[in-house]
Amino acid sequence: MAVLLTKKTRLVVQGITGHQGQFHTRSMLDFGTKVVAGVTPGKGGTKVEGVHVFDSVDEAVARKRANASIIFVPAPFAKDAVIEAIEGGIKLVVVITERIPFHDTLEFVPYARTKGVTVIGPNCPGIITPGESKAGIMPNHIFRPGDVGVISRSGTLTYEIVNVMTQAGFGQSTCIGIGGDPIIGTNTVEALALFQKDRKTRKIVVVGEIGGTAEEEAAEFIHKHVTKPVVAYVAGRTAPPGKRMGHAGAIIQAGKGTAESKVKAFNDTGVPVADYPVDIAKLLAAA
Amino acid sequence: MKFLEYKAKSIFARYGIPVPHGVVVARPEEIRDPPLPCMVKAQVLIGGRGKAGGIKPAETMDEAREVSRQVLGMDIEGYKVKQVYLEERLDIERELYLGFTIDRSAREPLLMASASGGMEIESLSHEQIFMEHVPALVGLQPYVLRMLEKFLGLQGHVAEQVTDITKKAYDLFRKEDAELVEINPLVITRAGKVVAGDAKLVVDDNAEYRHLEYAKLDQDRTPLEEEAHEKGITFIQLDGDIGVIANGAGLTMSTLDVLNLKGGKGGTFLDLGGTDDPDKVAQAFEILLKANPSVILLNIFGGITKADTVALGVKKALEEMHADVPVVARIKGVNEDQAKEIFRDIGMYPAETMEEAAELAVKVKKGGA
Count of domains in chain B? 3
Q: Render pLDDT for A24-80 as a digit per residue (tens, 0 to 9).
A: 999 999 999 999 999 999 999 999 999 999 999 999 999 999 999 999 999 999 999
Mark yes or no for CB contact B102/A102 under 8 Å.
Answer: yes
Are residues B236 and B353 located together in one domain of the fold? yes
Per-residue confidence (pLDDT) for residue A255, from 0 to 100: 79
| Predicted ipTM of the assembly | 0.95
Q: What is the DSSP letter of B186?
A: E
The average pLDDT across B272-283 equals 88
> For residue B8, is it within any domain?
no
Are residues B198 and B318 located together in one domain of the fold? no
Q: Render pLDDT for B171-202 as a digit per residue (tens, 0 to 9).
A: 999 999 999 999 999 999 999 999 999 999 99
Domain that holds residue B47: 21-88
Q: Is A5 left (phi over 0), alpha (psi -120 to 50) or beta?
A: beta
Mark yes or no for CB contact A254/B135 under 8 Å.
Answer: no
Question: Which CATH number characterizes residue B330's domain?
Answer: 3.40.50.261
Q: Render pLDDT for B125-154 as a digit per residue (tens, 0 to 9).
A: 989 999 999 999 999 999 999 999 999 999
| Consecutive H or E run containing A259 | helix A259-268
Torsion of CA A100, A105, A111, A112, to 10 degrees: 70
Are residues B235 and B355 located together in one domain of the fold? yes
CATH 3.30.70.1140 fits A138-286, yes or no: no
Question: Which CATH number characterizes residue B151's domain?
Answer: 3.30.470.20
> Of the candidates B68, B88, B108, which is a domain's last residue?
B88
The average pLDDT across B260-267 equals 97
| Consecutive H or E run containing B9 | helix B5-14
Question: Which CATH number characterizes residue B67's domain?
Answer: 3.30.1490.20
To the nearest whole Å, the CA of B95 is away from the closest chain A CA by 22
Per-residue confidence (pLDDT) for residue A256, from 0 to 100: 85
> For residue B227, is it within any domain?
yes
Where does A10-120 sit in CATH, by number? 3.40.50.720
Are residues B201 and B228 located together in one domain of the fold? no
A225 is catalytic: no
Per-residue confidence (pLDDT) for residue A246, from 0 to 100: 86
Q: Render pLDDT for B57-107 as a digit per residue (tens, 0 to 9).
A: 999 999 999 999 999 999 998 889 999 999 999 999 999 999 999 999 999
CB burial of B82-107 (b: ≥16 within 10 Å; e: otherwise) equals ebbbbbbebeeebbbbbbbbbbbeeb
* Domain chopping of chain A, boundaries: 10-120, 138-286
* Chain A partners within 8 Å of B233 (Cβ): none
Are residues B230 and B173 located together in one domain of the fold? no
Are residues B246 and B361 located together in one domain of the fold? yes
> Of the candidates B88, B116, B131, which is a domain's last residue?
B88
Per-residue confidence (pLDDT) for residue B44, from 0 to 100: 94
Are residues B338 and B228 located together in one domain of the fold? yes
Please indicate, yes or no, whether the overall pTM of this predicted structure exceeds 0.90.
yes
Share of chain B above pLDDT 70, in %: 99
Mark yes or no for CB contact A245/B303 under 8 Å.
Answer: no
Q: Render pLDDT for B58-71 as a digit per residue (tens, 0 to 9).
A: 999 999 999 999 99
**Residue A1 in this model has a pLDDT that exceeds 60:** no
> Of the candidates B197, B214, B231, which is a domain's last residue?
B214
CA-based end-to-end distance of chain A: 22
> For residue B2, is it within any domain?
no
* Chain A partners within 8 Å of B275 (Cβ): none
> For residue B15, is it within any domain?
no
Are residues B193 and B155 located together in one domain of the fold? yes
To the nearest whole Å, the CA of B67 is away from the closest chain A CA by 30
Are residues B176 and B76 located together in one domain of the fold? no
The average pLDDT across B45-66 equals 92
Are residues B187 and B138 located together in one domain of the fold? yes
* Chain A partners within 8 Å of B249 (Cβ): 154-155, 180, 209, 245-247, 250
Are residues B52 and B161 located together in one domain of the fold? no
How much is the mean pLDDT over chain A?
96
Are residues B255 and B204 located together in one domain of the fold? no
